[in-house]
C-alpha cells in the first residue's frame, strides 16, 4: 500500500481543486516561506482525523476553510481526499484504490467518506491502524516529535516507537476492552442493585397478593349476600307487581269515564277560548272605534278653532266694510252732486254746440254761394269764412271757460 495522490478543495490557501500526485520514490515540496507547504502536511493530518485546531495552526476548526482573498471570494465547504494504492491488499477492502475523504462546512457539519460512502471516524481509524497511518502516528514528523525522540523520557520515545511499529492498535484495543469491562462491572453493580430492589418489591408484592386473595374471598362472600338480597327484592317486586296489576285494571275500567270528562272539559275550554278570542276581537274593534272617534274629535276641535278664527276675521272685515260703506256713501252723494252739476254743464254745452253748428251751417251755405259767385269775391268769401270760423270758435272757448268755472 502506498499514497498515490492528495486532492484538496477549499482547504486553507487552496481555494480551488488541487491534485498532488505522489509517484514512486521520494516527493519533495519546495517553495518560499508562506507559499502553503505546511498546509499540505496539515491537510494530511486533518483528513486522517485530527480534532485539535491548535495542531492545525488555527483557533477553531472552521479556520481550515479558505477565507477568501482580494481576488477570490471565500468558500463554504472544504474537502480533502487521500488516495491509496491497495493493490497488495494491505487494507482489508476489496478495492485496489481506497479514497479517504473528510468534508467540513461553515455550519460546523463534518463528514467522513470511504470510497465516497459516508462512514464514522472510528471506522477510518480502525481501518488505518496497523498501517502506520493515523492522526497521532508518525506520518507527519514535526519539530516537537523530534524533540520527543531525543527526550530523556522513555515513555515518550516508547509511544512513538509503538505507534510506528503498529502496536498502538493493540493498545487501543486493550484500552477499549478495559473500558468495556469497567462498563460491564458498573452494569453488574447496577443489576445487583436492581435485583435487591426487585426482591424488596417481590416481598411487597407477596404481601399484596395475600391481601388481594383475602379481598377476592370477601368479594365473593359479598357477591353471595348481594344475590340473596336481590332475590328477596325480586320477590317483593313480584308482590308489588301483582298489586300494580290490580290497580292497573281498576284504572283501565275508570279510563273511559275519565276520557269523557276530559273531552267535555276540553270542549268547555275550547268554548271559553273562543269566547275570549271573540271578546278580544270586540275589544279591539271598540278600541279602534274609540281611537277613530278621538281622532275625529281632535279634527272637529281644530275645525271649530279654525271657524272661530274665521268668524273673528269676518267680524273684523264686516266692521271695516261698514266703515268703508259709510265712506263710499258719502263719496256717492258727493259724486251725485258733482254729476248733477256736470249734467247742467253738459246741457249748456249742448245748447252752445247746437248754436255753433247752426252758425257753421249758415257759414257753409254762404261759402258755397260765394264760390258760385264772382271769382273776385273769393277773397271776400274767404274772409267771411274765416270770420265764421272765428265766430264758431269763440262760443266754444266761452263754453270751455264755463265748464272750467
DSSP calls for 386-399:
HHHHHHHHHHHHHH
- Mean pLDDT of the 79-100 span: 89
Chain centroid to CA 382 = 123
pLDDT of residue 350: 84
Lowest mean pLDDT among 64-78, 166-180, 306-320: 166-180
Average confidence (pLDDT) over 82-107: 89
* Residue 201, C-beta contacts closer than 8 angstroms, at least 6 positions apart: none
Among 75-79, 229-233, 369-373, the least confident range? 369-373
| Residue given cell 277560548 in the structure block | 273
List, as one string, the DSSP characters of 149-189: HTSS-HHHHHHHHHHHHT-HHHHHHHHHHHHHHHHHHHHHH
**Mean pLDDT, residues 222-242:** 91
- For the cut 60, the answer to whether the pLDDT of residue 81 exceeds it is yes
Q: In this model, does residue 74 exceed pLDDT 80?
A: yes
Q: Which residue has the cell 313480584?
A: 238
Query: What single-letter DSSP state applies at residue 224?
Result: H
> In this structure, are strands 117-119 and 2-11 parallel, antiparallel, or unpaired?
unpaired
The residue among 271 and 148 whose pLDDT is bigger is 271
- Res 383: pLDDT: 47
302-349 tens-digit pLDDT: 888 888 888 888 888 888 888 888 888 888 888 888 888 888 888 888
pLDDT at residue 7 above 90?
A: yes
CA 294, 296, 298, 304 torsion: positive or negative?
negative
Give the pLDDT of residue 390.
52
Q: Is residue 351 within a helix (H) or strand (E), and if so which, with residue range? A: helix 168-372
Task: Provide the 3-class DSSP secondary structure of residue 46.
Answer: helix
Contact 99, 82 (CB under 8 A): yes
pLDDT of residue 26: 83
pTM: 0.42
What are the CA-CA distances from residue 401 to residues 268, 338, 388 (Å)?
115, 17, 20
Of residues 250 and 147, more confidence is placed in 250
Contacts of 30 (CB under 8 A, 6+ apart): 37
At residue 377, the pLDDT reads: 41
CA distance 120 to 91: 17
Contact (Cβ atoms closer than 8 angstroms) between residue 4 and residue 97: yes
pLDDT category, 396, cuts 50, 70, 90?
Answer: very low
pLDDT exceeds cutoff 50 at 193: yes
Least confident of 98-107, 153-162, 387-396: 387-396
* Average pLDDT value for residue range 18-24: 88
Residue 142 pLDDT grade (very low, low, confident, very high; cuts 50, 70, 90): low
Q: How far is CA 95 from CA 64, 98, 134, 405, in A?
A: 30, 6, 20, 167
**What would the mean pLDDT of 26-45 be, rounded to a whole number?**
84
Domain locations along the chain = 2-135
- pLDDT tens-digit readout, 377-392: 444 444 444 454 554 4
Contact partners, residue 371, CB within 8 Å, separation at least 6: 378, 381
Secondary structure element (H or E) that encloses residue 195, with its range: helix 168-372
Average pLDDT over residues 162-169: 63
Length of the chain: 405
Give the model's pLDDT for residue 379: 46
Q: How far lies 169's CA from each of 163, 173, 176, 402, in Å?
A: 8, 6, 10, 176
Among the four given CATH numbers 3.40.50.1110, 3.90.220.20, 3.40.50.300, 1.10.3720.10, the one describing domain 2-135 = 3.40.50.300
pLDDT at 101: 94
The predicted pLDDT at position 59 comes to: 84
DSSP-derived pairing of the beta strands 77-85 and 110-114: unpaired
Least confident of 184-198, 261-275, 327-341: 327-341
Q: Is the pLDDT of residue 115 over 60?
A: yes
- 36 or 139, greater pLDDT: 36
Average pLDDT, the chain: 82
Amino acid at each position: 500500500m502506498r499514497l498515490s495522490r492528495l486532492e484538496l478543495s477549499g482547504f486553507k490557501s487552496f481555494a480551488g481543486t488541487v491534485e498532488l500526485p505522489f509517484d514512486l520514490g521520494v516527493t519533495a515540496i519546495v517553495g518560499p516561506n508562506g507559499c502553503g507547504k505546511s498546509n499540505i502536511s496539515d491537510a494530511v493530518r486533518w483528513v486522517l482525523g485530527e480534532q485539535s485546531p491548535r495542531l492545525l495552526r488555527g483557533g477553531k476548526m472552521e479556520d481550515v476553510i479558505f477565507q477568501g482573498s482580494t481576488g477570490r471570494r471565500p468558500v463554504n465547504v472544504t474537502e480533502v481526499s487521500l488516495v491509496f494504492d491497495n493493490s497488495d491488499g494491505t487494507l482489508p477492502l476489496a478495492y485496489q484504490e481506497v479514497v479517504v475523504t473528510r468534508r467540513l462546512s461553515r455550519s460546523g457539519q463534518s463528514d467522513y467518506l470511504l470510497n465516497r460512502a459516508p462512514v464514522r471516524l472510528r471506522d477510518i481509524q480502525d481501518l488505518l491502524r496497523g498501517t502506520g497511518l493515523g492522526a497521532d502516528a508518525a506520518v507527519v514528523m514535526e519539530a516537537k516529535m523530534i524533540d520527543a525522540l531525543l527526550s530523556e523520557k522513555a515513555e515518550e520515545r516508547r509511544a512513538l516507537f509503538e505507534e510506528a511499529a503498529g502496536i498502538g492498535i493493540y493498545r487501543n484495543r486493550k484500552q477499549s476492552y478495559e473500558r468495556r469491562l469497567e462498563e460491564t462491572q458498573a452494569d453488574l453493580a447496577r443489576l445487583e442493585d436492581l435485583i435487591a430492589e426487585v426482591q424488596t418489591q417481590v416481598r411487597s408484592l407477596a404481601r399484596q397478593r395475600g391481601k388481594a386473595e383475602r379481598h377476592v374471598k370477601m368479594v365473593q362472600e359479598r357477591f353471595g349476600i348481594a344475590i340473596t338480597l336481590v332475590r328477596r327484592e325480586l320477590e317483593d317486586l313480584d308482590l308489588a307487581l301483582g298489586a300494580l296489576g290490580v290497580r292497573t285494571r281498576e284504572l283501565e275500567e275508570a279510563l273511559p269515564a275519565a276520557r269523557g270528562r276530559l273531552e267535555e272539559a276540553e270542549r268547555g275550554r275550547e268554548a271559553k277560548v273562543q269566547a275570549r278570542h271573540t271578546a278580544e276581537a270586540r275589544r279591539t274593534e271598540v278600541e279602534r272605534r274609540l281611537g277613530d272617534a278621538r281622532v275625529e274629535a281632535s279634527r272637529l276641535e281644530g275645525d271649530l278653532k279654525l271657524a272661530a278664527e274665521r268668524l273673528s276675521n269676518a267680524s273684523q272685515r264686516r266692521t271695516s266694510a261698514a266703515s268703508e260703506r259709510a265712506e263710499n256713501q258719502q263719496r256717492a252723494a258727493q259724486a251725485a252732486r258733482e254729476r248733477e252739476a256736470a249734467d247742467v254743464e253738459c246741457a249748456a254745452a249742448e245748447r252752445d254746440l247746437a248754436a255753433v253748428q247752426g252758425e257753421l251751417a249758415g257759414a257753409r251755405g254762404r261759402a258755397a254761394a260765394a264760390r258760385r259767385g264772382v271769382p273776385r269775391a273769393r277773397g271776400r268769401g274767404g274772409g267771411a269764412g274765416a270770420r265764421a270760423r272765428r265766430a264758431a270758435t269763440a262760443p266754444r272757448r266761452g263754453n270751455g271757460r264755463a265748464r272750467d268755472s
